[in-house]
């Protein structure tokens, strides 16, 4: 075993619900960057989304993400932001992971739609020294933004998966199926919990 530092990917999201786009992004970031683990960090209260629409309770979203990654090598659902409570700020999550795993290298994974928005994130400039940014390409014209200055950036390409949680919630509202857009164990969890009624 080499003594190279552990590499941890931090992939935050509302995951309302998690879908194959998230999972393909996570496994490809892990593969291309050589990450030991990718944490899918379920936002407790995503401050940029709350108030605009009703968000599924964090424990439900976490259960669905856990079901989605169960048995998948190197992918883990993280309750870090849920256990911290309150509003979820990426900079605090990175700081907490740095404290908890001294010596590890952190990689902040974002879809390309978010790279250009990062400058609006609270205190995010403080985080550029804590992590390398991994930008995963995202189809449908959502990309294009450039990461804020100061970040070390790696690009990861994935097959274009034009899918978003927003679209999935709309599908459910129209009575359409989520099968194969959400992994089946996660879909089972959604049904058991009666989430996104209609699925
Ligand atoms: P919503 O439509 O509610 O915003 P979303 O599908 O964008 O949901 P989020 O939880 O907001 O999902 O996103 C979490 C992370 O996953 C973000 O970094 C986002 O860019 C990325 N992501 C979401 N969908 C895809 C996709 N289809 N391909 C690649 N990355 C994605
Ligand atoms: Mg989004």
**Alpha carbon 174 to chain centroid distance?**
26
3-state secondary structure of 184: helix
**Which domains are assigned to the chain?**
7-193 (3.40.50.620)
Is the model's pLDDT at 140 over the cut of 70? no
Return d(Cα 199, Cα 196) in angstroms, integer: 6
Q: Whose CA is nearest to atom 28 of ligand 1?
A: 21
pLDDT 10s digits, 186-195: 999 999 999 9
Is the Cα torsion angle 132, 137, 164, 72 positive or negative in sign?
Answer: negative
The rounded mean pLDDT for the chain is 92
Residue 143 is predicted with a pLDDT of 53
Q: What is the whole-number distance in angstroms between the Cα of residue 99 and the centre of ligand 1?
A: 27
Residue 55 and residue 49 in contact, taking contact as beta carbons nearer than 8 Å: yes
Is the Cα torsion angle 127, 133, 138, 143 positive or negative in sign?
Answer: positive
Q: Whose CA is nearest to atom 14 of ligand 1?
A: 13
Question: 143 CB less than 6 Å from ligand 1?
Answer: no
Question: 69 CB less than 6 Å from ligand 1?
Answer: no
Question: 61 CB less than 6 Å from ligand 1?
Answer: no
pTM above 0.85, yes or no: yes
Residue 31 and residue 134 in contact, taking contact as beta carbons nearer than 8 Å: no
Residue 111 is predicted with a pLDDT of 94
Q: What is the whole-number distance in angstroms between the Cα of residue 164 and the centre of ligand 2?
A: 7
Which residues have C-beta within 8 Å of that of residue 94, sequence separation ≥ 6?
10, 106, 108, 127, 130, 131
Residue 81 and residue 42 in contact, taking contact as beta carbons nearer than 8 Å: yes
Residue 3 is predicted with a pLDDT of 67
Which ligand sits nearest to residue 110's alpha carbon? 1
Question: 9 CB less than 6 Å from ligand 1?
Answer: no
| Nearest atom in ligand 1 to 20's CA | 27
Question: 133 CB less than 6 Å from ligand 1?
Answer: no
Q: Whose CA is nearest to atom 7 of ligand 1?
A: 164
Question: 13 CB less than 6 Å from ligand 1?
Answer: yes
pLDDT 10s digits, 10-48: 999 999 999 999 999 999 999 999 999 999 999 998 888
């Amino acid at each position: 075993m080499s003594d190279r530092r552990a590499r941890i990917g931090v992939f935050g999201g509302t995951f309302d619900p998690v879908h194959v786009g998230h999972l393909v992004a996570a496994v490809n970031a892990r593969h291309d960057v050589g990450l030991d683990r990718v944490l899918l960090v379920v936002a407790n209260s995503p401050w940029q989304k709350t108030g605009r629409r009703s968000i599924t309770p964090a424990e439900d979203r976490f259960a669905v993400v856990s079901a989605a990654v169960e048995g998948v090598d190197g992918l883990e659902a993280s309750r870090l932001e849920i256990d911290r409570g309150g509003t979820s700020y990426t900079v605090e999550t990175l700081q907490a992971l740095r404290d908890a795993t001294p010596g590890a290298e952190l990689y902040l994974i974002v879809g390309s739609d978010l790279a250009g928005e990062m400058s609006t994130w609270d205190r995010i400039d403080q985080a550029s020294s804590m992590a390398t940014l991994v930008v995963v390409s995202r189809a449908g014209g959502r990309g294009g933004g450039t990461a804020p200055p100061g970040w070390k950036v790696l690009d990861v390409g994935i097959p274009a998966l034009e899918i978003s949680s927003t679209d999935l919630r709309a599908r459910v509202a129209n009575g359409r199926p989520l099968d194969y857009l959400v992994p089946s164990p996660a879909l089972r969890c959604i049904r058991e919990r009666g989430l996104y009624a209609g699925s």
